Amino acid sequence: IVHIAPADFTFGRSLNLGISAATHELVAIASAHVYPVYPDWLERLLEPFADASTGLAYGKQRGAETSKYSEHQIFARWFPDSSDLRQSHPFCNNANAAIRRSLWEEHHYDETLTGLEDLDWAKWLQDRSFGIAYISEAEIIHIHSETPEGVRNRYRREAMAFKQIYPEAHFNAYDFIRMTASNIANDTYHSFRERLFFNVFAEIFWFRFNQFWGTYQGYRQAAVWSWNLRQTFYYPRGLEADEAQKREIEPIRYNEKP
């Protein structure tokens, strides 16, 4: 275990310290708030590296029972059920990912960013013609249990980081109103279909409001987005209900006694 003082913590610094202690070429990265769904999680996550041009792989995320309804929708939007072995944009997420250590030695994670250090590193990777693979079978459960203030602060710091990575980016008052309204409407639609509306509507409203208010605060200075990334980060999931992917392998039963 590699320790880091709270006063020295940034997401990039913690990654750099951990990876510097690793001894193998392939380094798996996982958040402290995740657990794998299937016993072959690590095997599936590392499979894309059989292709020497793959520099990074990341897997599917789904929420826990305690996750807010809107976050379930975000996970469904960000992490689809279909894998993509050579995606066209640099979106990824280090809560469930793996990289080549030799590439990290060329370019460490940015320790100054307030978030999205994974996106920044993936952008560098793609700029050098290495591939990013998304593996839906490498699935984890990501546990978030945030207050409205916590949601607002998370998206504020991520917006600040996005603007540092993409200085031309902007998110104005019109974007705030449009994105908040469209995502609330989309979540409402899905909650009606799932017969959960009356249980989650208040939660949908405060989550989406704080998500995009925090984003607006992080982008107060004017700046044009990468269209693919803008869609991935902020646009609601499609109106068609996605059928959950079923695999032949049995999931891990965490509530069963050995």
pTM to 2 decimal places: 0.83
Residue 25 lies in a domain: yes
**pLDDT score, position 61:** 97
Main-chain phi, psi angles of 80, to 5 degrees? -70, 175
119/226: higher pLDDT: 119
258, part of any domain: no
For the cut 80, the answer to whether the pLDDT of residue 117 exceeds it is: yes
Residue 229 has pLDDT above 60, yes or no: no
Is residue 21 domain-shared with residue 105, that is, in the same domain?
yes
Higher-scoring residue by pLDDT: 232, 119: 119
Sheet of strand 54-63, all strands in order from the earlier edge strand to the far edge: 26-30, 96-100, 54-63, 131-142, 34-36
Closest-CA residue to 246 (of 70, 36, 38, 35): 38
**Between 234 and 86, whose confidence is greater?**
86
What's the pLDDT tens digit per position in 173-214? 999 999 999 999 999 999 999 999 999 999 999 999 999 999
Q: Are residues 41 and 95 in the same domain?
A: yes
Look at residue 60 and tell me if it is in a domain.
Answer: yes
Same-domain pairing of 24 and 121: yes
- Structural contact between residues 162 and 169, judged by C-beta atoms closer than 8 angstroms: yes
Range of the domain at 124: 6-142
Q: What is the pLDDT of residue 222?
A: 38
Residue 151: predicted pLDDT: 94
Is pLDDT of 246 > 80?
Answer: no
For the stretch 24-70, pLDDT in tens is 999 999 998 999 999 999 999 999 999 999 999 999 999 998 899 99
